[in-house]
Amino acid sequence: MKTLRIGSKDKMVVVFKDAMANQGFWTGNRSEAYTKTFAQAVAYFQQTHLGPDGEQLQVDGIIGPNTGWALNHPTGKAQKSNLSPKTTGGHLRIPMGISEERARILGIALGEHNVREKPNGSNRGPGIDKYLPTWAQTRPGPPWCCFFVSWVTKQALGQYPLGRNHGSCARAWKAAQERGMAWPKYKIVDTPGHRNPTHPIPGDAFYMRFGPTKGHIGFVYRVSADGKTINTVEGNCANRVKIGRRRLDDRVYGIIDFFDGEESSRFERGLIEAKDVGKDRTR
């Protein structure tokens, strides 16, 4: 297939806009013009989907063979969590050394693992609708990663720590900033009493920013010994709640800490074997 990018004008752009709209990633026009706005929507799709090789799509806003394949195959084997057999059963446990509140967040989030869209690509389903406010239960539904984070924290803490059920990652980040819960990578000094965003704590949320309104959000599940990689529990990762692995690189804009007063060195470190959903070469 031909590669489509900003400035392209082709009938296949309409086909891909239809596919994006059917999966809840595009609400604009269906013209043949490949605009900057459409490229941003494509990049958002790329953040949470894998290619035919099971590897994370390159986040560049360009539709080439791999992204084209993923738009036509938003579900299936390549989009599964692909957890190692070593992580089955009791191995999906909460790391030791974190607070009871953080453990509740992770326990509820892990309990939703593999909740998926029905029908596939709809952003809806019996398991997903409970995350969505009534106004968002449309066909197709909206991207739901932030609704998932809001729902889990409400279930765990009895209230929305960011004030309400946010569906927008950017607005959730703004609410976290207003409450002193947001830790952007570029502003943190690694000194006693300050959080280091390259060493998040299980139960935090990670925030990925792509443009002023587009992003992705999920929970930090486990942290590697060197603090550079995390296991995640994230909604709307392909078509489901997925346990994965991400590098804390430039695409991770910052960390949301729903709590205060915990030292990042006092919890159990080490990752489980899960699919890499954020290769550092593509982020």
pLDDT at 120: 82
Is the same domain home to 100 and 64? Answer: no
The structure's pTM equals 0.80
Same domain, 68 and 147: no
Looking at residue 90, what is its pLDDT?
44
Let me know if residue 132 belongs to a domain.
yes
* Count helices and strands in the chain by DSSP H and E runs: 7, 7
Could you give the 3-state DSSP secondary structure of residue 59? coil
The pLDDT of residue 74: 81
Domain that holds residue 37: 11-79
Element (H, E) at 182: strand 182-184
The tokens for 110 are 């892990």
User: C-alpha distances in angstroms, 29 versus 3, 32, 37, 50, 241?
Assistant: 20, 9, 11, 26, 29
- Given 50, 79, 108, the domain boundary residue is 79
Helices marked H in the chain:
11-22, 36-47, 65-72, 100-111, 126-129, 145-157, 169-178
**Does residue 102 sit in the same domain as residue 233?**
yes
Which of 14, 251, 262, 219 is closest to 109 using CA atoms?
Answer: 219
241 near 172, Cβ under 8 Å? no
The answer as to whether 264 is a domain residue is: yes
**Do residues 261 and 184 both lie within one domain?**
yes
Write the burial class of residue 69 (CB in 10 Å: 0-12 exposed, 13-18 middle, 19+ buried).
Answer: middle
Q: For the residues of 216-239, what is the DSSP string, one character each?
A: EEEEEEEE-TTSSEEEEEEEEETT
Structure tokens that stand for 21 in this block: 């709209």
> Is 3 a member of any domain?
no
161 and 271, same domain (yes or no)? yes
pLDDT value of position 91: 58
Q: Please state the length of the chain.
A: 283
Tell me what pLDDT residue 279 has.
Answer: 44
How many domains, in total, are found in the chain? 2
Residue 283 located in a structural domain: no
- 1 lies in a domain? no
**pLDDT confidence of residue 231:** 94
Can you give the pLDDT at residue 181? 92
Residue 2 domain-assigned (yes or no)? no
Of 213, 216, 169, 242, which is closest to residue 45 (Cα–Cα)? 216
**Last residue of some domain: 63, 79, 95?**
79
Please tell me whether residues 122 and 251 are part of one structural domain. Answer: yes
CATH number at residue 108: 3.90.1720.10
Same domain, yes or no: 61 and 128: no
Tell me the β-bridge partners of 243: 233
- At residue 209, the 3 state secondary structure works out as strand
Look at residue 144 in the predicted model and tell me its pLDDT: 95
Q: Are residues 64 and 117 in the same domain?
A: no
Last residue of a domain, one of 55, 79, 103: 79
Averages of pLDDT over each 10 residues, the chain, 283 residues: 93 93 85 94 86 84 94 80 60 84 93 89 91 89 95 96 96 95 70 60 92 89 90 92 87 88 72 74 26
Q: Is residue 158 part of a domain?
A: yes
Clarify whether residues 156 and 241 are in a common domain: yes
> So what's the pLDDT on residue 281?
29
Is 174 within a domain?
yes
Identify whether residues 131 and 69 lie together within a single domain.
Answer: no
The answer to whether residues 217 and 235 belong to one domain is yes
Same domain, 118 and 176: yes
What pLDDT score was predicted for residue 85?
61
* d(C-alpha 32, C-alpha 34), whole Å: 7
3-state secondary structure of 56: strand
Residue corresponding to tokens 């390159």: 58
